[in-house]
Amino acid sequence: MSDPKDEVQNQDPNYWRSFEELYSDPKFLKEINNEFKDGADEAPDTSKMSSLSRRKFFALLGASAAVAGAACSDYQDRGEIVPYKDKPEEITIGKANYYASTCGGCSSACGILIKTREGRPIKVDGNPDHPVSRGKICSQGQAATMSLYDPERLKTPRQKIKNRFEDINWQQADSEIIEALSNIGGKEIAIITNQIISPTENRVLKDFVDKYTATRIYSFEQFNESVRNIAWQKCYNSDEFPIIKWDEAEVVVSLDSDFLGADYNRVENTRLFSEGKDVINKNFNRLYSVESDLSLTGMNADYRLMLRADAQYAFVMGIINELQSKNVINNTVNASSFNLSKLAADFGLSEKILNYLINDLTNKKGKAIVYAGNHLPEKVHIAVNLLNEELGNSNLYNTKQSRITVRKLSSLNDIKKLADKMNSGNVGMVIHYGSNPVYNFPADINYADAIQNVDKVITLAETENESANVSNYVLPINNTFEAWGDAKTRTGFYSMQQPVIAPLYSTRQKESIILSWINGNSDSNKENLYHKYLMSNWENEIYPTLNSRIEFKKFWFGALHDGVVRSNDTSTGNGSFNYAALSGLTNHQNKMKGMTVHIKESYSLRDGRFANNGWLQESPHPVSKVTWDNYAAISTTTAKKINVKKDDIIEIKVNDRLLTIPVFVQPGHADDSITIETGYGRTNSGSVSEGAGFNANTIFSSSGGITPWLYEGVTVKKLTGTYRLVVAQTIYDFTEEDKKDIPEKRGIIKEGTVEQYLNDPHFLNDKKHKDLKSVNPPIPYDGLKWGMSIDLNKCLGCSECFVACNVENNIPVVGKEEVDKGREMHWLRIDRYYSGTAEDPKVSVQPMLCQHCDQAPCETVCPVLATTHSADGLNQMVYNRCVGVRYCSNNCPYKVRRFNFFNFRDSFNDSYQESPVFALLHNPEVTVRSRGVMEKCTFCIQRIAEARSDATRESRKMIGEDVHTACQDACVTNAIHFGDINDENGELYKYRNHELGYHVLEELNTKPNVTYIAKLRNTHSEEA
Amino acid sequence: MKASLLDYLLRTRLPVTIFVVAASFIITFFASRAERDGVGYTPDQPINYSHKLHAGEMQIDCQYCHVAVEKSRHAMVPAIATCMNCHKIAKKDSPEIIKLAEYYNSGKTLMWKRVHKVPDYAYFNHSVHVNKGIECESCHGEIKQMEKVGQMNSFTMRNCLSCHRNSHERLPYIKDVKRGPEDCYTCHR
């Protein structure tokens, strides 16, 4: 039997990155012969620029005054040095301090380690002692410092007076609000919050309810696991939700789930999952992904099937039916009307892959896990639970730890009732407690209209948002780096949060605002109000339960130091499966209606709360590489059917709700399905996020969908006009000629299968380029020599490394227009290559950074010796010598050098990044580059220098393991290793000399110091 | 043939002018080298602190005040509280100490004039040099003799490299001294 899709897989892959490349668009071919994109080196069109802004005018004024002043002053003057009055004991100028805390970015509550310099947080990494994060953190956590220093943060309390916001003081705000609270007169006080993860914060809210009894608390997350959890409760009668031991799974079947990408708890998921892909111990798991969009998870699947989301129920019941008919599992549910072969025929799924899947589930009983996406309906989750239970896979649920919630999320029904009460005038006050319901609430409850009927609306927020705009009072709250707290998301431990910087503005911790309202005294707020409350809650409530032998004060400082406190509450483990839950599984196949729309949480902005963070806005989508925008992703076939191409604007109609959004044709997307990420299209939210993307929440509703995130029966209409979507990764494209020989000759991507590797470990070894001669005399590097290895088996293309690099190395945000011209400044990019057909491509990812070649082509062409080689093998770039001729970039075969066409800090968004507060964000060990110089990855030379000075101080020899680069520290899957390539005992040595190790573009004889470990797909190669 | 005005201008006036301009430029260039490098720059400080008295006569160790010099890139100008360790009692009535105490008690900012400055594109590291056994005086001059601190050596790349390349001659007091590294990334990043 020959399946056309499998034939493609066995051909030599023809790598491509965009449709223009695949189909050799003539305009595109012309463009790629140029080194820089059209317009990249053109002067800006001044007529299009905004005229001299107020800020620039003052800057100019200041500069001219300074010039005039300098002319008259002492030219030898070198400024002043200001000493401390009393130096804090822990601070040494020039040395970083690290504090353990808990990330407040989302409800995962990962443990973080905050690096501070002279009292200001500059970098965030995971807390190595924290059981969830284990030293790793997601890209939102990495970029959090930019939100702290966002110059557009709210700075003082505001009150709306005659439709205009005016600054007021805290005392006035508090006294007026306390008065309103006391005279609420039988009406409801509604507090709307995000998910509460802190037991102490939950107590504060309870106290508030005790004091003001008319209060009701609504906790809401736009993206949550409520459907999965309800299914779990029905199946196991338990409120403790399992954590999956991905590391022990040999087979993972992901049903439209993005557990490696956008889903909750992805840091732990990716860490555990990647432990199952180990080239050193030759241990490989297998991932099947059955999905509608091409997600980060699907991109890394060994086998991928495309299936619209509303057919997932038929798919999982088909599997159950198949396994029942083979007597692999018991006949506990009637699935007779679901036939897998028929489904395969209907949706064009490869029968061969389905056979592999069935065989794997049969043979790997107890070692395979099936996992369904959060947006799929309850019955899919129940069927999946059943499948896992019957196959004995439930032993992959971690019974030692389970997820618990401090406060249950409100159901959409509760939210609807709240809106009804508002409309009937029964709500006297609404407090947006750090939440943004105007943006995030389902569109069908018309929250923005309902809120007009509330007497007093109060928003507690860090930055302006949609909800603040409709409030009577806007109260600024502390950033997570300025706040105290604790978190309890699992059995077995608590996480601690401590402030690492005093509040930058006149902001208050949100709990302490509530506490002073409970006190009913507007003068009662002190800076340490919540700190004291937190401590006493721990001393009286939590500490006694821990049976600690240490006295409380010591215990408390220990807890803050570690950032995590072990507790002895244990998981009750899995109950027995409740077969009554299966009554919800119908043996009836629904007809597919129209198209489906899946509303997905954005990879970088999440539900929109990180929208004003420039680093995150500019980080390309991990699959499509689109930046600064969201879009409707559709398949090539669907695009042809509705006659649209990339950038065309369409109107999507979902149950009478309309959304206008541009199209992006995504290779590998399922037909008749649309995937839209939300978090974009923010209004009144700060100058970075405004105008970026489209608000997809206009079709998010509490009813009418399969789940709130998934709709069927959707119709699409093409509108006139286009909208430019900027794809970050087409700067350096291939010509038709390049494409043909890339896999074999150029060796940019080398791949194979696990079977090939196990049969012949050296199957990829290419002797062709081993004896290349060089005109340069060989330089012996016998001392310490730096090198890096990147294991492409573990690399998922998730972007964590790349955001960490931005933070560590002071990379500016350049804006959408500049990205379009190929001027983004990222030192590290993640190249994504497709191979195979446009309908069903395979995906390969490759982080690309300066390769620090021993025979670097850039060095020989620099006319001013601004880039040279060091004795320890680094390709050095000296900014103060660079004159900006860009020859080096021209001669670099890897295209990793970035040129400052502008002072981007000044040119982006009206000098947004030159606000005084932004200076606090910068890493003081890295130069802030200005206009006209070339820059590139330095292998984190500042970290090497620090390690070297530490070694000198301790009178020892520096070894490779002393240095961790920022990307290496950030890589959740530990795909990156860094160290001394000459050290035979070092970790790097194993990878550098691995059978699967290769260098990119080996035939150029540049001798790179970055080794890539070739990706192995765990597919069956018997037919090869 | 009669000498024309043009001849005079080209043969006499122009060479003389060029010579005078060039010579004066070259002389000024070399004569002012030290001045331009800042050698000899000795600014007035808000408080007349004497290194000669404290470090020289009283032999207080440099690191009593410059606490970070062994640990960090920066030597650190001491906190006012460090001065007050002694001067809460010692010499309380001297006019300079009264000034100092006022800074301390009022919390007013004490702005020391900066004497030494390495350009901000060079990342000099005090701790590496001190931990290798290089004495402060090798760069900062005879601090212990200075009533008022001034710059004694030029802080140019040439001067850094002359020591990195000829460490044996420049630092004879360190046994087995090795050459300093000369990679760009040693200082520039």
- Neighbouring C-alpha atoms within 13 Å toward the C-beta of A816: 16
Residues A258-309 have pLDDT tens digits of 999 888 888 999 999 999 998 888 889 999 999 999 999 999 999 999 999 9
Do B121 and B179 lie in a common domain?
yes
| B5/chain A closest Cα distance in angstroms | 42
Q: What is the pLDDT of residue A849?
A: 93
Q: Do B189 and A87 touch (CB under 8 A)?
A: no
Residues A319-346 have pLDDT tens digits of 999 999 988 888 888 888 888 999 999 9
Q: What is the mean pLDDT of chain A?
A: 87
Which residues of chain A does B68 touch, with a Cβ-Cβ cutoff of 8 Å? 92-95
Q: What is the pLDDT of residue A733?
A: 47
For B72, the closest of A87, A95, A941 (CB atoms) is A95
Residue B106 maps to a domain = no
Residues A111/A127, Cβ–Cβ less than 8 Å: yes
Residues 909-928 of A with CB under 8 A from B: 925-927
Q: What is the mean pLDDT of chain B?
A: 90
CATH of domain A4-19+730-763+786-1017: 3.30.70.20
Residue A554 has pLDDT above 90, yes or no: yes
Please give the average per-residue pLDDT across A370-392, as a whole number: 92
Q: Do A81 and B77 touch (CB under 8 A)?
A: yes
Q: What is the pLDDT of residue A737?
A: 52
Report the Cα A636 to chain-centroid distance in Å: 27
Q: What is the pLDDT of residue A48?
A: 53
Residue A731 has pLDDT above 50, yes or no: no
Residue A12 DSSP one-character state: P
Residues A435-457 have pLDDT tens digits of 999 999 999 999 999 999 999 99
Domain coordinates of chain A in residue numbers? 4-19+730-763+786-1017, 158-224+409-566, 226-403, 591-727
Query: What's the token pair of residue A294?
Result: 């091409």
Strand ranges inside A308-418, DSSP E:
368-372, 397-403
pLDDT band at A42 (very low <50, low <70, confident <90, very high): low
B110 to chain A: closest CA residue:
A82
Q: Do B185 and A874 touch (CB under 8 A)?
A: yes
A226-403: CATH, from 3.40.228.10, 3.40.190.10, 3.20.190.10, 3.10.20.590: 3.40.228.10
Nearest alpha carbon to residue B164 among B132, B140, B136:
B132
Q: Do B110 and A876 touch (CB under 8 A)?
A: no
pLDDT band at A156 (very low <50, low <70, confident <90, very high): very high
Q: What is the pLDDT of residue A6?
A: 40
Q: What is the pLDDT of residue B123?
A: 92
Do B125 and B169 lie in a common domain?
yes
Q: Do B185 and A76 touch (CB under 8 A)?
A: no
pLDDT band at A1 (very low <50, low <70, confident <90, very high): very low
For A80, the closest of B80, B104, B112 (CB atoms) is B112
Nearest alpha carbon to residue A1006 among A746, A796, A826, A645:
A746
What are the phi and psi torsion angles at A861 (to 5°)?
Answer: -105, -5
A158-224+409-566 folds as Rossmann fold (3.40.50)
Quote the number of domains for chain B. 2
Which residues of chain A does B41 touch, with a Cβ-Cβ cutoff of 8 Å? 76, 78
- Neighbouring C-alpha atoms within 13 Å toward the C-beta of B30: 5
The residue behind tokens 């692999």 is A328
| A940/chain B closest Cα distance in angstroms | 9
The pTM (predicted TM-score) of the whole model is 0.89
Query: If DSSP states are collapsed to H, E and C, what string results for chain B?
Result: CCCCHHHHHHHHHHHHHHHHHHHHHHHHHHHCHHHHHCCCCCCCCCCCCCHHHHHHHCCCCHHHHCCCCCCCCCCCCCCHHHHHHHHCCCCCCCHHHHHHHHHHHHCCCCCEECCCCCCCCCCCCHHHHHHCCCCCHHHHCCHHHCCCCCCCCCCCHHHHHHHHHCHHHHCCCCCCCCCCCCCHHHHCC
Residue A108 has pLDDT above 90, yes or no: no
Residue A60 has pLDDT above 80, yes or no: no
Residue A159 has pLDDT above 90, yes or no: yes
Query: What's the token pair of residue A28?
Result: 């595109």
DSSP reduced 3-state for A173: helix
DSSP reduced 3-state for A708: coil
Please give the average per-residue pLDDT across A787-796, as a whole number: 94
Which residues of chain A does B104 touch, with a Cβ-Cβ cutoff of 8 Å? 85
pLDDT band at A738 (very low <50, low <70, confident <90, very high): low
CATH of domain A591-727: 2.40.40.20
Q: Do B77 and A79 touch (CB under 8 A)?
A: no
Residue B157 maps to a domain = yes
Residue A49 has pLDDT above 60, yes or no: no
Q: Do A870 and B38 touch (CB under 8 A)?
A: no
Residue B177 maps to a domain = yes
DSSP reduced 3-state for A15: coil
Residues B97-117 have pLDDT tens digits of 999 999 999 989 999 999 998
For A76, the closest of B41, B74, B76 (CB atoms) is B41
pLDDT band at A9 (very low <50, low <70, confident <90, very high): very low
* Helical segments of A184-299, H only: 199-211, 226-236, 266-275, 296-299
B67 to chain A: closest CA residue:
A92
Residues A533-553 have pLDDT tens digits of 999 999 999 999 888 889 999
Out of A153-167, A339-353, A465-479, A904-918, which region has the weakest mean confidence (pLDDT)?
A: A904-918
Do B161 and B130 lie in a common domain?
yes
| A147/chain B closest Cα distance in angstroms | 26
Reported as type and span, the H/E element at residue A992 is helix A987-992
How many Å apart are CA A714 and CA A710, to the nearest integer? Answer: 10
Do B5 and B70 lie in a common domain?
no
| B20/chain A closest Cα distance in angstroms | 27
Do B73 and B1 lie in a common domain?
no
Out of A42-56, A118-132, A270-284, which region has the weakest mean confidence (pLDDT)?
A: A42-56
Do B117 and B49 lie in a common domain?
yes
Q: What is the pLDDT of residue A2?
A: 39
pLDDT band at A558 (very low <50, low <70, confident <90, very high): very high
Please give the average per-residue pLDDT across A632-660, as a whole number: 92
Q: Do B189 and A953 touch (CB under 8 A)?
A: no
Residue A45 has pLDDT above 60, yes or no: no
Residue B19 maps to a domain = yes
Out of A4-8, A360-364, A668-672, which region has the weakest mean confidence (pLDDT)?
A: A4-8
Residue A52 has pLDDT above 70, yes or no: no
Q: Do A953 and B111 touch (CB under 8 A)?
A: no
* Helical segments of A597-706, H only: 614-617, 636-641
Out of A19-23, A357-361, A388-392, B89-93, which region has the weakest mean confidence (pLDDT)?
A: A19-23
DSSP secondary structure of A510-567: HHHHHHHHHHT-TT---TTHHHHHHHHHIIIIIGGGGT--S-HHHHHHHHHHHSEEE-
Q: What is the pLDDT of residue A243?
A: 87
Q: What is the pLDDT of residue A739?
A: 55
Q: What is the pLDDT of residue A506?
A: 92
Residues A807/A142, Cβ–Cβ less than 8 Å: yes
Report the residue count for chain A.
Answer: 1024
Identify the domain containing residue B60 by its residue range. 43-77+112-187
Residue A736 has pLDDT above 80, yes or no: no
Report the residue count for chain B.
Answer: 189
Out of A208-212, A565-569, A810-814, which region has the weakest mean confidence (pLDDT)?
A: A565-569
Do B132 and B177 lie in a common domain?
yes
Residue B118 maps to a domain = yes
Q: What is the pLDDT of residue A31?
A: 64
